[in-house]
Structures are given as structure tokens and as C-alpha cells.
Amino acid sequence: MCNDKIIRRIAGLFVMASVALGYLMHPGFLFFTAFVGFNLFQSSITNFCSLELMLGKAGMFGCAPRSNR
């Protein structure tokens, strides 16, 4: 499990970067913003977060891979 602050920071960074890229480069980057928002929404319902899973497998500080129960 990761600290929620790490997940929120990375998600916020992704949203800000994709909005900036959508504004400066190409509006297609806004689909990435929608993708991040959808993943945040589904993780609040299902308690499954793909970013948390990836960070745990990568050994990110404060994150541990979920055990198979």
C-alpha cells in the first residue's frame, strides 16, 4: 500500500501536465486527463489503483506490492 499523498501528487502532476500539453501542443492530450480522472473515480469505488500497483512493483519508497490473499 502506498501513502495516499504519493498517489494524489502523481495524479495531480499527470492532470496538470496533460492539460498544459493539450493547451500548448494538441487537444488530444486532454484524453489523457480524462483517463486519469476516470481511474481516480474507479479507484474510489473499487479500491483498486493501477498506479499504486505499479509503484509497489517498482519498489517506490513507502509503497509495497499487495500480497495475494
Angle, alpha carbons 43-48-50 (nearest 5°): 90
Inform me whether the pLDDT recorded for 49 exceeds 80.
Answer: yes
Judge whether 54 and 65 are in contact, CB under 8 Å.
no
pLDDT tens sequence across 19-40: 999 999 999 999 999 999 999 9
Please say if the pLDDT value at position 8 is more than 80: yes
Residue 69: what pLDDT?
46
- For the chain, the average pLDDT equals 87
Q: Is the pLDDT of residue 68 over 60?
A: no
C-alpha closest to that of 49 among 15, 12, 7, 18? 7
Helix, strand, or coil (residue 49): coil
